[in-house]
Structure 1
Amino acid sequence: MSNLSSKSAVNHYITQRLTAIVLIPIAVWFIVVVFKISKADSLAELGERLLSPFNMITAILFVIAALYHGLLGIKEIVTDYVHCSTLKKVLVSSLVLVTIISAIAGIFSLVYFFIMLKIFFPC
């Protein structure tokens, strides 16, 4: 293994672990928010809880971190088990494209949801 590929492997390993560590508190936050939302007594209270900028930013971070973490894991599987270099490049490129499209769609839907809540539940 060359020095360049070993640095890449170490970098990949560290990045995979860092995204996992970042996802732990965000997942706990998500569970708490869902629990609080389920206990809301009225639509106004529900809107109030969902309109927090902190909740919106954390939800966007969750989408980005989860998708990137998933990309790293699946990319590792493809690079380990697909031996045809052309197929490997096509699959990795496709994975990156799907991840980017999913991130854009997820962020767009969260922002759209936030805007719709602002319209229907003005503070």
Structure 2
Amino acid sequence: MSIKTPFKRVEGLGSAKDGTEHFWRQRLTALANVPLIIAFVWIVVSLNGEDHATVAATFANPFVAVVMLLVIVSALYHAKLGMQVVIEDYIHGELAKYALLVANIFFTFGIAVLAVFAILKMGFGS
């Protein structure tokens, strides 16, 4: 039996103010994704059915390549933040939670690297 108050038992277990920064990052990436996803859909739809040479020529345009890179970085960062919230809220085992948080980081980073490589490869005409 302890004489500690409930407040004293939980003190130091959570980080105050960390959730606010996470909240704002998620909202800012969501806001940035609106025009980026519209541009992404526009580009993909306009390239539907085109041959490889036309797609490569389109991605050689610096504006298109930069828009596509921004879409990848912003959307994957937003997805990482969202999945992190889901993992933290619904996974209760500490080992499983940390393993999934690490997997979330590696997965989104890996997909981002592959997508950026593909866009740069097309953009530079290789």
The match for 1:83 is 92
Secondary structure class of the residue paired with 2:16? helix
Larger Cα Rg: Structure 1 or Structure 2? 2
The 1:46/1:100 distance shift into structure 2, 3 A limit, reads closer
The match for 2:38 is 28
The structure whose residues are more often helix, as a share, is 1
Query: Is residue 9 from structure 1 mapped to residue 19 from structure 2 by the alignment?
Result: yes
The 1:59/1:32 distance shift into structure 2, 3 A limit, reads same
TM-score computed with the length of structure 1 as normaliser? 0.79
The 1:43/1:87 distance shift into structure 2, 3 A limit, reads closer
Aligned residues: 116
The 1:15/1:50 distance shift into structure 2, 3 A limit, reads same
TM-score computed with the length of structure 2 as normaliser? 0.78
Aligned partner of 1:10: which letter? T
Percent sequence identity is: 25
The 1:2/1:31 distance shift into structure 2, 3 A limit, reads farther
What whole-Å deviation, never above 9, does each CA across 1:58-93 have from its counterpart, x for those lacking one?
101111111111111111011001111121111101
The match for 2:62 is 53
The 1:110/1:70 distance shift into structure 2, 3 A limit, reads same
Q: Once superposed, what is the RMSD of the aligned Cα atoms? A: 2.5
Distance 1:34 1:2 in 2: 51
Would the aligned equivalents of 2:56 and 2:122 in 1 still touch at CA under 8 Å?
A: no
Structure 1 unaligned blocks of 5 or more:
none
